Amino acid sequence: MRSVRFSGLLACVAIQALAIVAAESAEQQAAGTRGGVAAALARLRAEGTRPTGDPGLAAVRAELERDTAEALAAQNRQVAAALERVQARLQNPRGPVPAPAITGVVQSPPLSPGEQILILGEGFGGPDDGSVTPPPGGVARLNGYFAGGHLQLEIVRWAPAYVLARVPIVTHVPDQGLVTVQVVVGTSASNQVDSAFEAARGVVLVRREDTQVMACHGADLAANFCNPGFGRHTSASFGAYHAYTDGECGRDELRVALTHQFTLHRAYLDAVPGYQASGSAGPPAFAASLGGFQPGAAAADISVEWCYDGIGGLDYGLALYAVGPAGFFYR
Rounded to whole angstroms, how far apart are CA atoms 181 and 191? 8
pLDDT band at 48 (very low <50, low <70, confident <90, very high): low
Which of residues 314 and 180 earns the better pLDDT score? 180
Q: Contact, 95 vs 238, CB < 8 A?
A: no
Q: Which residue has the higher pLDDT, 30 or 268?
A: 268
User: What's the whole-model pTM score?
Assistant: 0.78
Which domains can be identified in the chain, with CATH numbers? 36-57+204-325 (no CATH), 90-199 (2.60.40.10)
Q: Residue 277 pLDDT more than 70?
A: no
Strands (E), the chain: 101-106, 116-122, 138-143, 150-152, 154-159, 162-166, 176-185, 188-189, 193-197, 201-205, 212-215, 223-226, 238-243, 246-257, 263-273, 285-291, 299-309, 313-325
Q: Is the pLDDT of residue 282 over 50?
A: yes
Tell me what pLDDT residue 93 has. 58
